Amino acid sequence: MNEKVGVPYSLVRQSAKHRNLQFYDSFEWHAWKKKSAVCKRGSTLSIVSLKTGKEQASSPMRKSPSNFFASDIADDAVRQHLDSFTPLRAFIRLCRAEEQVDQYRILDDNRKTVGHLEITTLTLREKNRKDYTESFLTLTPLRGYRTDSEHVAEALQKAGLLSGTTSFSYIYNQLLKAAGISPGSYRSKPSVRLSPDEPVRESARKLLLATFRIMLANEPWLSRNIDTEFLHDYRVALRRTRSILAQLKGIFPPEELSRFKQQFRELAKRTNNLRDQDVYLLEADHFGSLLPAPLREPLGLFFDDLQHAHTQELRALSRHLRTRQHAELLHTWESFLTEPCQASGEDTPNAALPTSTVAVGTIRKAWKKVIRHGRTIGPEASDEDLHSLRIDCKKLRYLLEFFSSIFPKETIGPVITHLKKLQDLLGKFVDLSVQQDYLHHRITSPGAHSQQLPATLAASLGGLVTALYHERETVRQRFHDTFRQFDSHHTATLFSALIDHYSS
């Protein structure tokens, strides 16, 4: 095919390719946030730079799954790219499209090749969506002929054969928009800009409503069991809700507040076993690495049983989420947060206080409780003490994050960072304790299972309990040093600056 572009140039088609495309990203848009697109072109999975449009890595991929993990990919380069985006979250198919690639040689009036032109046309192919089509070109001039190639591009645009030189990033984002998808639209933490002078009840409503939206975003995905982070984010949203209802006192009607606190407590309880099972299954490789080779294989029986229990637990939760009872909770909670409150001042004495006043007061109280509690923990640092301190730290963390928008970033940021270090250690300790107790119960209570544990499995679980015990004791020994770093003059100065920010 020879097309006249304008004197003195013409195009000669070299090749034409047609491929089906599928675009993937995690629920939290990890690839997009790192300026990359995960694209399956025909039978090839590619990582494409959104900055340059160039392929960064690729590997064969015959199947077209609706979702997959980085660990599912055999090719090292592609797997490493995906793992750098997120090792935990699945890559979920966003949309399908068709790609037409036409390649041409650019000839001058002497029939000499002065460059190459590639025209790529992408067309969205999604049910219940109008087809969206747009093209972009890539010009590759031969050395010394750049001006000639630019003249060709101008001629194509003037002739209406091309809308313009458009980047891959632009096309990708337009495809997503046409498919009804907003990149980066999901955040696992509520993002609300508060006013320090606004009545705290209004601020609390905004924060709780944003947290509720996170619950609603994750809930439809729970039963699909695609990755563990849907349940994790759902549970965190529940904990944030319960924590803020418990700590911001006197701003909501007591009777309604008590009812919602009870309902959310029961909902959270329904997810406890499922989350514990998720954690064990995620730790399967780590658990195996703690044991000598002869004790690793029998663990397969344990994880098979665990997977079966996980399936049953997920079905039970999914059934509950489809009940009228749960639907009513969601409806009444949303109405509570969006409709005007008719409660009298006696029922809600603190509702009209400025947000800054309540933020400072509750943060100061929660911080002092963490410091006071941590200082009373003796050298042995009992399990109960560390577990209780972890809960105190969570409450403080939720308050800091809820009210972060009314404080300077340079003040609130370091405070949260210092608290997180202590939280991480306490979280590790509690996780190891729970895991150890669960495994010990599994060994000592065979009556709860269909048959007596095989001797080899009992030996493996016993070895694992011992290994986890030593890990936990190592963490326990680090507690006092970690707490002293938190309970320091530097951290106290940071908290004082935060609390004094709104002092008169």
What would the pLDDT profile of 424-433 be if each residue is shown by its tens digit? 999 999 989 8
How would you write 127-143 as a 3-class SS string? CCCCCCEEEEEEEEECC
CATH number of the structural domain 354-504: 1.40.20.10
Q: How confident is the prediction for the chain on average, in pLDDT?
A: 89
Is the separation of the CB atoms in 81 and 57 below 8 Å?
yes
Q: What is the C-alpha to C-alpha distance for residues 214 and 222, in angstroms, rounded to an integer?
A: 13
Please tell me which residue, 444 or 5, carries the higher pLDDT value.
Answer: 444
Fold of 187-346: CHAD domain (1.40.20)
- Lowest-confidence segment of 124-133, 322-331, 370-379 by average pLDDT: 124-133
**pLDDT 10s digits, 154-201:** 776 676 655 555 678 888 888 899 999 999 999 998 888 999 999 999
Look at residue 161 in the predicted model and tell me its pLDDT.
57
Identical fold, 2-178 and 187-346: no
Residue type, 256: E
**H/E element holding 231?**
helix 229-247
380-392 as b/e: b if 16+ CB within 10 A: ebeeebbeebbeb
Give residue 356's pLDDT band: very low, low, confident or very high (50, 70, 90).
Answer: very high
Q: What is the C-alpha to C-alpha distance for residues 280 and 2, in angstroms, rounded to an integer?
A: 63
Judged against a pLDDT cut of 90, whether residue 111 lies above it is answered with no
- Domains in the chain: boundaries: 2-178, 187-346, 354-504
Give residue 448's pLDDT band: very low, low, confident or very high (50, 70, 90).
Answer: very low
Fold of 2-178: Hypothetical Protein Pfu-838710-001 (2.40.320)
Let me know how long the chain is.
504
Is the separation of the CB atoms in 169 and 17 below 8 Å?
no
Q: What is the C-alpha to C-alpha distance for residues 453 and 474, in angstroms, rounded to an integer?
A: 30
**Residues 126, 130, 131, 136, CA torsion sign:** negative
Look at residue 155 in the predicted model and tell me its pLDDT.
73
